């Protein structure tokens, strides 16, 4: 961006952070994408680890902050990608690396415990007797939306927020979900991992009684230089009159009126335009 200044990005010396001990695993969140959304603790982990095991969504510019000499291992799972590592292989790898006395940074997009299999990994580490800590990250469904001019809650729109995954463990729209209850109670619904299933979810919400003209906002690659927002309605999406193939992943689908002040609250797009011009 035009007015950006380069920074050394070191954790300030006045900040005391826990030492990264040999044989420990830090299960850390990298935030939605932009480097500036890293926490100090994740940055500290990057600067002091021996190995980073990251998932597919982590921005390469974030990986570039790892201590020189740190090994970088991609172990991400992408929905439907048969070549991506299996979850049990990833947890096994973490346990082995820790067993070698290495300082292991397990880096995930957003927050490690939000739809990220972080809980399974932490449990496996706990059961294997590996020392671990969890470093929360900014979830795409909150911080990423803020970059698209969408407040997660606001007095005029919603006093609750529903996060739903469009993917159960079999890659299907969760069949156990009570769509009628969701349609009724979900003032604002944020769907994760739902690009391919968005149409099906829209159809279920419609038949469960949600309004046909309900707003649907797709937020694609939130906080990154190629962030895009697409708007449609529940009926158009359910009837196939909105082409989800035109939306680049990763993307969030926001159902409800949370984006109604986007024209006024979108502070990020003007900065991107400025950067393009500069």
Positions marked catalytic = 55, 77, 193
CB of 158 to ligand SAH, least distance (A): 19
**DSSP bridge pairs for 158:** 154
User: Does 115 interact with ligand SAH (rule: CB under 6 A)?
Assistant: yes
46 near ligand SAH (CB under 6 A): no
CA 236 to chain centre: 26
Q: Which residues contact 227 (CB under 8 A, 6 or more apart)?
A: 147, 148, 219, 220, 221, 268, 269, 272
Q: Binding to ligand SAH by residue 218, rule CB under 6 A?
A: no
Q: 23 or 174: whose CB is closer to ligand SAH?
A: 174
Q: Which residue is nearest to ligand SAH (CB)?
A: 110
Contact 145, 152 (CB under 8 A): yes
Strands 51-54 and 71-74: parallel
- Segment interacting with ligand SAH, rule: CB under 6 A, options 119-127, 168-176, 240-248, 250-258: 250-258
Which spans in the chain are helix H? 40-48, 60-63, 87-99, 118-127, 145-147, 179-185, 198-207, 234-238, 262-265, 268-277
> Is residue 122 part of the contact set for ligand SAH (CB under 6 A)?
no
Least distance in Å: CB of 43 to ligand SAH?
Answer: 18
Q: Which residues make up the interface to ligand SAH (CB under 6 A)?
A: 32-33, 57, 108-111, 114-116, 139-141, 144, 192-193, 219, 221-224, 250-252
């Amino acid at each position: 961006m035009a007015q950006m200044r380069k920074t050394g990005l070191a954790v300030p010396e006045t900040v005391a952070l826990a030492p990264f001990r040999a044989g420990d695993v830090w299960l850390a969140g990298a935030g939605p994408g932009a480097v500036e959304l890293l926490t100090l603790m994740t940055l500290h982990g990057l600067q002091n680890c021996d190995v980073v095991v990251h998932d597919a969504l982590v921005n390469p510019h974030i990986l570039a902050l790892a201590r020189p000499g740190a090994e970088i291992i991609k172990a991400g799972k992408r929905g439907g990608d048969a070549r991506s590592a299996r979850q049990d292989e990833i947890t096994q790898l973490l346990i082995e690396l820790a067993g070698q006395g290495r300082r292991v940074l397990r880096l995930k997009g957003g927050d490690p415990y939000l739809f990220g299999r972080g809980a399974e990994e932490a449990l496996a580490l706990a059961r294997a007797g590996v020392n671990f800590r969890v470093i929360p990250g900014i979830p795409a469904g909150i911080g990423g939306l803020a970059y698209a001019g969408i407040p997660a809650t606001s007095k005029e729109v919603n006093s609750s927020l529903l996060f739903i995954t469009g993917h159960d463990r079999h890659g299907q729209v969760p069949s156990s979900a009570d769509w009628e209850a969701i349609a009724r109670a979900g003032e604002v619904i944020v769907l994760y991992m739902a690009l391919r299933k968005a149409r099906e979810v829209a159809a279920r919400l419609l038949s469960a009684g949600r309004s046909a003209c309900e707003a649907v906002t797709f937020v694609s690659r939130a906080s990154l230089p190629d962030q895009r927002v697409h708007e449609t309605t529940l009926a158009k999406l359910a009837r196939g009159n909105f082409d989800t193939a035109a939306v680049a992943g990763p993307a969030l689908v926001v159902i409800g009126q949370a984006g109604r002040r986007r024209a006024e609250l979108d502070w990020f797009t003007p900065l991107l335009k400025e950067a393009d011009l500069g």
